[in-house]
Structures are given as C-alpha cells and as structure tokens.
Amino acid sequence: MCKPVAVVTGGAGFIGSHMVDVLVERGFTVRVIDDLTGGHAINLSGQENNPDVSVDVQDIRTLEPDSSIFSGARFVFHFAGIGDIVPSIEKPTEYFDVNVQGTVRVLECARLANVGKVVYAASSSCYGLAATPTREDHPIDPKYPYALSKYQGEQAAFHWHQVYDLPVNSVCIFNAYGPRVRTTGVYGAVFGVFFRQKLAGAPYTIVGDGTQTRDFIYVRDVAEAFFAAANTDVVGERFNLGAGDPQSIKRLVEILGGERVYVPSRPGEPDVTHADIEKITSSLGWSPKVTFEQGVTNMLANIEHWNDAPLWDPKSISKATETWFRYMSDK
C-alpha cells in the first residue's frame, strides 16, 4: 500500500524539520523543499538518511507551476521564507519577493496538483502591539516589512482558497522555541543569544527590564498543531497558536541561572504576546503538551549546539539594532 505524501517547504529549517519528524512518524512519504540558507546545513535530525524523505534543494521562487514535487501530495506545509525584523527594514524588497511571491508559486503548484490541504505558517507579528489574549479577529497592524510580508503571504493563500477553491488553513505562530532553533543571523532570537552567553559564562543581555512576556510554544507542539490543521475537514480558517501561558524573559534567565545586564527596550516590540487558543483547541482538538520549564530543559540537554552561535554583548547589540531604532522610534 502506497504511503500518503506530504510536501514541507522550508523542511530543513527549525519548525519545518520537526514537521518532517511528525509526518514520518505518521507514515508519510515526505518531500522537502529548502534552499538551505536558513542558518544551518541540512537540519533533518537524521531524516536525511530516511528513504521516505527526499530533499529538493531549491528556492521557492524558482518553482514551476507543474513541479512534480507536488504531484500526488495530500498535504503541503508552507514554512519557507525569510525572517528577522532588522533585515526586513533594510531590505524590504527581498522579503516581499520571497514571502509573498514565493508563496504564490507554492500555491500555484499546490492548486495545479490538486493538493488536499495547504497549511500556511503565518506570524503573530501581523497583529502589531495587540490587545491580549489575542484573538483571530484582532485588527491587523504590522509594524515592519517582515510582518507585512508574512501577512500578505497569508492573504494570498486565502485568496487562492476563495478564487480557486484550494483548501487552505493558516496557523499563526506566536513565539516558537525548541531544539534546532536557528543559532545564526541578526540579533533578536532570545534562546540563541542566551544559550551562547551561558556557554561563554557571559552575562545575559536582557532587553528592557525583562518583565516583558512572550507566549512561548514548544516546537513539537507547533508541528502537531500544523498536522491537526491539515488533517481536518475545517478549511479557510486562521488559528492562533501559542501555549496560552506567557512567560517573562526574567523567568527564562532564572531557569538558566547566571548574571545579567540590561540593554534599551526596542520600539515597536510588544510588552506582552499572548495567543487566545480557544479556537484551535475547540476546532481541531489540539492542546499544548510541553511546559516552558520542560522545553527549556530539553534544549539545555544539547546546549553545545549553540557553541558556534554569535556571542552578543551590549555594544554589539547596539550596533546591530541601529537600523531598528532609526526607523522604528516614535512609530
């Protein structure tokens, strides 16, 4: 009996590689599309040697509509794209090219292949400085080009659903963390920053006073939520995805242990992110399983993974965020 097929764009990246794991465990043949520029070499946690997992090294912007990668696929999980706030302010054209036009190419491939369901990885940054807990009907207010590009990619996905009847759901991720989280790139990913500082015995650089909270959601729970959004009769919906239990940056430092220094708060960043997860729990039967403490403990078990991450201090952070302060102040 033939195994069902799923396509994972960005499947060698952080969340995408965990999505591959979930699909393999459920008996799928998985086709990964990834250009391998996401901060690592191939990152499939051993799956690269699995005959049920194939990897097509390709930029989604080069996909042809009749791409055989999508042929016979039951599900498409679309994670491919570029992130980070500061570079999106500096190079907005590239962000819209990849996150919007690249998404359109994925959608066209899925449409012409009659894929059973596309699940789009949306970003909670589309809500801006949102009221909390944040519901799916919250007003949209992106504060920087990355946020806008991810929102427009989501709108394209829903437009393909509206016009072409392509079955689409969107999962709007709040603050994903866990094993294989990216270690390189522009300053901003708190786990990569803090873990490298812990390894070096350097103080943790806390933005503001550290009382700001984030709705951290463990990556395995994220992948399970995406599978639930695909394996359902529900279609044409956005689901906010968090743990529903925001944690402060100070709490993270308490778990890690060590000295701390403080750097200026960044304009345009919310004090709190908090997903209202009532819709995803009631509609899809999904719920988070991994507590914040357990998730951080799981990551610390492999802390050596962050040995090659950049080691940040207040001076280098100030330099890296000059563009942010120049364009985002008073916004």
> Burial, 153: exposed, middle or buried (Cβ in 10 Å; 0-12, 13-18, 19+)?
buried
Q: Is residue 250 part of a domain?
A: yes
The reply to whether 113 and 31 lie within a common domain is yes
Residue 27 in contact with residue 51, Cβ under 8 Å? Answer: no
pLDDT in tens, 28-86: 999 999 998 864 444 555 666 788 999 999 999 999 999 999 999 999 999 999 988 88
The reply to whether 54 and 148 lie within a common domain is yes
Tally of domains in the chain: 2
Q: Is residue 285 part of a domain?
A: no
The reply to whether 57 and 68 lie within a common domain is yes
So what's the pLDDT on residue 42? 47
Q: How confident is the model at residue 266 (pLDDT cuts 50, 70, 90)?
A: confident
**What does each C-alpha distance from 256 to 14, 53, 92, 117 come to in angstroms?**
22, 36, 35, 40
Q: Is residue 129 part of a domain?
A: yes
Q: Rounded to whole angstroms, how far apart are CA atoms 292 and 276?
A: 17
pLDDT, mean over the chain: 93
Q: Is residue 44 part of a domain?
A: yes
So what's the pLDDT on residue 188? 56
Asked if residue 185 has pLDDT above 70, the reply is no
The reply to whether 298 and 220 lie within a common domain is no
The reply to whether 182 and 231 lie within a common domain is no
Does the CA dihedral 195-196-200-206 come out positive or negative?
negative
pLDDT in tens, 96-140: 999 999 999 999 999 999 999 999 999 999 999 999 999 999 999
Q: How confident is the model at residue 181 (pLDDT cuts 50, 70, 90)?
A: confident
Two tokens, residue 160: 């393909």
Q: Is residue 282 part of a domain?
A: no
CATH number at residue 157: 3.40.50.720
Residue 302 in contact with residue 179, Cβ under 8 Å? Answer: yes
Q: Which domain holds residue 183?
A: 178-215+244-275+290-328
Q: Is residue 307 part of a domain?
A: yes
The reply to whether 307 and 198 lie within a common domain is yes
The reply to whether 33 and 126 lie within a common domain is yes
The reply to whether 31 and 168 lie within a common domain is yes
Residue 141 in contact with residue 268, Cβ under 8 Å? Answer: no
pLDDT in tens, 204-241: 999 999 999 999 999 999 999 999 999 999 999 999 99
The reply to whether 260 and 119 lie within a common domain is no
Asked if residue 309 has pLDDT above 60, the reply is yes
The reply to whether 107 and 235 lie within a common domain is yes
Asked if residue 93 has pLDDT above 70, the reply is yes
The reply to whether 86 and 192 lie within a common domain is no
Q: Is residue 102 part of a domain?
A: yes
Provide the annotated active-site residues: 146
The reply to whether 221 and 236 lie within a common domain is yes
Q: Is residue 72 part of a domain?
A: yes
CATH number at residue 298: 3.90.25.10
Asked if residue 303 has pLDDT above 70, the reply is yes
So what's the pLDDT on residue 331? 61
